[in-house]
Structure 1
Amino acid sequence: MGKFEAVRERVEGSQRLQALWACSNVTAIVRMHINDHGPVHVKIVTRMALRLLDLLLEAGVRPSAVDHGLETEDARVIVY
């Protein structure tokens, strides 16, 4: 298992993060009357951010994390 998969498993399995995202959704929807900012929103935004990173990588763009001694997989963890 790579770094990214390990981090993703920990995030998705974290009850604390799930609770925080649920609370942020209450604040957004109930108190502020704006759109979803809970777990569904987090998944959508994360998926789009990772897709953008993939497109940049396919176009030959080197993540700045690599300039600082990290690997491309670390860039995926950072974006996630």
Structure 2
Amino acid sequence: MSDPLTGLASRLMLEDQLASAALRAEARQRRLALLYIDLDGFKAINDSCGYRAGDGLLREVAIRLLTIARSTDTIARVG
């Protein structure tokens, strides 16, 4: 299931992917990396510019992250 606004993986999908990746990393004795990005001041954008602008920002961030991600990476919208 994906996030309806951004099309990114949902929190549940992220949890599943992370659990699987952790098992694979442990079995292969490899490391696992997780990057968490928080958009500071996002509430202020919604409050001052409206939800439409906030939604547009989230979509744009999703597009930019997807353009730099590898095909094996999972990008999810958590909040």
- Do both share a fold (TM > 0.5)? no
Normalised by the size of structure 1, how large is the TM-score? Answer: 0.32
Structure with more contact order per residue of length (Cα contacts < 8 Å, sep ≥ 6): 2
